[in-house]
Amino acid sequence: MGTGTLLGLAPPKVRSFVLWPVRATPRTVWLIVQLQTDGGISGLGEASDAFGFASTTAAQGREMEQALATFVELMQGRSVLDIAHYRKVGEPLARARGLLAATAFSAVEQALWDLAGQALGTPVHTLFGGTLRDSIPLYANINRATTERTPAGFAASAQKAVAEGYRALKAAPWDGYPQVTAAHGIACTKAIRAAVGPSVDVMVDVHSNFTVEEAVRVARQLEPDRLRWYEEPVAPAGGEFLFGVRGFLPLCQQKAVAVIMPDVKHCGGLLSLTHIAAMAEAHGVSVAPHNPSGPVATVASLHATAGLRNCEILELQWGEVAWRGELLSPPEQIRGGQIEIPKRPGFGISWNEQLARKHRL
């Protein structure tokens, strides 16, 4: 990452890209995109979970590489500041070709904003109007870090996250449904609430596993536990895989949800996330970006949400690997359940290639 400004010089032009598939755990592979220029600076984006929440394979990594090549070609030899052009020509392809293309498009868009901020010598959030805060509250997604999928296992993870300062938690105790029964997920949820007490926000994610009737029945059994939210009991719920304003508009118009969850990796990137949030605000709907992601998507989400008035909280994939923070310099600055918004140019981070190679898929 460079920190200089243009100083009257021509802006750098897009030259090539590198995809870094980083194996975090048997379940998690982070797909990090490094967009390179002729000016010696590079920008970062993240394309994880383009194949759903199952672990990405090497073959799928090659599919993503091909998809990325299509979108990078749209910017070949063009200024890193030509983001409007990129979105105009790339969005129709992303919308028409499904989740893989939407995620590839979004990753390149993220990297272009990182490059634009570096070229102009300013943090990306200033390009979206500045920030309303110095930090954003996080909720700890304890789901993937919980390998003992029992009430006691979820309770232990919840207690550990609270001990680290988090005041909001989320789990998905119905993963594996119907082999994992509705009753088991309810027991895990109640164990989390009992472990953390009444003052910590608890959320659960059903990953669209239930029918409407099952969703209502389980919700009634969880009413005494006073959940902050009950996420995606049926599809598409909060919209974590939806693309653009067009994808989220019906949810907001129909007041189908109180909170929407655009994901910077899938919704079209940073500018799309801000457009979605503005549309949601007009309908009285809050935003809590979906982000069960690696550190690059987290930083991108920070810059996109820094100035949003209706952003409640940001998701963090908690406790999965101890070396997560070392992939970036400086590492994520998390204190008391809040994450600081970077102040350096671009996304304000650089990529640890040595560590990425060590954990490469």
Backbone angles phi, psi at 305, to 5 degrees: -100, -5
Last residue in a domain, options 107, 122, 137: 122
Between 236 and 220, whose confidence is greater? 220
Tell me how far apart the alpha carbons of residues 166 and 336 are, in angstroms, rounded to a whole number: 6
Q: How many domains does the chain have?
A: 2
Report if residue 109 sits inside a domain: yes
Kindly report, residue by residue over 44-91, the tens digit of the pLDDT. Answer: 999 999 998 778 899 999 999 999 999 999 999 999 999 999 999 999
Same domain, 152 and 253: yes
Going by the DSSP 8-state scheme, the letter that residue 331 receives in this structure is P
Same domain, 28 and 93: yes
Report if residue 248 sits inside a domain: yes
Report if residue 357 sits inside a domain: no
Same domain, 75 and 198: no
Query: What residue has token string 């010598």?
Result: 121
Query: What residue has token string 């987290």?
Result: 298
At position 235, the amino acid (one-letter code) is A
Same domain, 232 and 187: yes
Report if residue 253 sits inside a domain: yes
∠ Cα 60 74 278 (to 5°): 85
Question: What are the residues whose beta carbons fall under 8 Å from the beta carbon of 246, sequence distance 6 or more?
Answer: 95
Report if residue 358 sits inside a domain: no
CA dihedral 165, 260, 276, 70 (to 10 degrees): 90
Query: What's the mean pLDDT in 241-269?
Result: 95
Same domain, 272 and 140: yes
* Percent share of the chain, pLDDT over 70: 98
Tell me how far apart the alpha carbons of residues 174 and 157 are, in angstroms, rounded to a whole number: 16
pLDDT tier at 226, thresholds 50, 70, 90: very high
Same domain, 117 and 132: no
Same domain, 164 and 25: no
Is the CB of residue 33 less than 8 Å from the CB of residue 56? no
Q: CATH number, domain at 269?
A: 3.20.20.120
Same domain, 72 and 186: no
Which residues are bridge partners to 335 per DSSP? Answer: 338
Same domain, 86 and 192: no
Average pLDDT along the chain? 95
Window from 154-158, 237-241, 312-316, 327-331 with minimum mean pLDDT: 237-241
Last residue in a domain, options 74, 101, 122: 122
Kindly report, residue by residue over 194-223, the tens digit of the pLDDT. Answer: 999 999 999 999 999 999 999 999 999 999
Last residue in a domain, options 122, 138, 157: 122
Q: CATH number, domain at 49?
A: 3.30.390.10
- Give yes or no for residue 12 having a pLDDT over 80: yes
Report if residue 361 sits inside a domain: no
What does the pLDDT read at residue 2? Answer: 46
Same domain, 109 and 93: yes
What does the pLDDT read at residue 4? Answer: 53
- Give yes or no for residue 246 having a pLDDT over 90: yes
Is the CB of residue 114 less than 8 Å from the CB of residue 45? yes
Same domain, 247 and 307: yes
What does the pLDDT read at residue 7? Answer: 55
Report if residue 1 sits inside a domain: no
Report if residue 168 sits inside a domain: yes
Query: What residue has token string 């690696």?
Result: 294
In which domain, by residue range, is 37 found? 14-122
Query: What residue has token string 């969005």?
Result: 91
Q: Which residue, among 92, 25, 95, has the nearest Cα to 56 in the 3D structure?
A: 25
Which residues are bridge partners to 37 per DSSP? Answer: 14
Going by the DSSP 8-state scheme, the letter that residue 360 receives in this structure is B
Same domain, 261 and 148: yes
Query: What's the mean pLDDT in 90-102?
Result: 97
